[in-house]
Copies of this chain bind each other. A is one copy, B any other.
Amino acid sequence: MLLYENEQSGNCYKVRLVLAYLGVDYERRQLEVNDRSNRREVLGHLNPALRVPTLVLDDGRALPESNAIIWYLAQDTALVPSDPFVHAQMLQWMFFEQYDHEPAIAVVRYMRHISGRPEDFADRLPELERKGYAVLDAMEGHLADRVYFVGDGLTLADVALYAYTHVAPEGGFSLDAYPAIRRWLARVADQPGHVPIDA
């Protein structure tokens, strides 16, 4: 398998993390996140949204969208609950991650830590920070009496939410007021086969 990706992207890290948990070998091809001028040339025939990650299977079929990719890779493993309602709850948190979490927490990290021009985003940061802390509040409340996001074990909901939460401080978010999130981050990092984002 060939993974079009970027090494700093949490969305791409989700895929690398699941492949590491599952012990699957694959090839990596890096795409720039600041200079996107070659995106249509490289990804145009593979992903209408021109984004990474995009996974290309050995038979040439391509699959975009981080959370769809990890669902495909892990569908028959313990990372995807067998109970249909718990499976739906896992998807609930994966949609929450893409709709509420990534557009605030990942975007602030990009602006402050990756873009190289944080001053260009100064007027957008306060609103995105407010949204980011609202997301962390929702996660903290949910995790207060839980070990993982859904069911009894680690699932793709944890993988999807771990990817940008554990690097939220790079965007300036403080996790000091979030003890349940910090305990859960340590628990995910302690999984057999876990790899860091910069591996």
Q: Tell me if A102 is interfacial: C-beta within 8 Å of chain B.
A: yes
Cβ of A61 within 8 Å of any chain B Cβ, yes or no, is: yes
Residue of B nearest to A100 (CB): B49
Q: Residue A98 at the B interface, CB < 8 A?
A: yes
Is A170's CB within 8 Å of the partner chain B? no
Which residues of B sit under 8 angstroms from A61, Cβ to Cβ? 85
Instruction: List the number of copies, as a whole number.
Output: 2
Q: A102 to B102, alpha carbons, bound, how many Å?
A: 14
Size of chain A's interface in residues, with CB distance under 8 A? 32
Residues of B within 8 A of A181 (CB): none
Q: Which residues of B contact A91 (CB under 8 A)?
A: 65, 67-68, 71, 91
Chain B residue nearest to A50 (CB atoms) is B138
Give me 23 A-to-B residue pairs in the complex whose CB atoms sit less than 8 angstroms apart, sorted by A's number. Answer: A48-B142, A49-B100, A49-B138, A63-B85, A63-B89, A63-B92, A64-B92, A65-B91, A65-B92, A66-B95, A67-B91, A67-B95, A68-B89, A68-B91, A72-B84, A72-B87, A72-B88, A75-B87, A91-B91, A95-B95, A98-B98, A98-B99, A99-B99
Q: Give A residues with C-beta under 8 Å from B.
A: 48-49, 61, 63-69, 71-72, 75, 84-85, 87-89, 91-92, 94-96, 98-100, 102-103, 138-139, 141-142
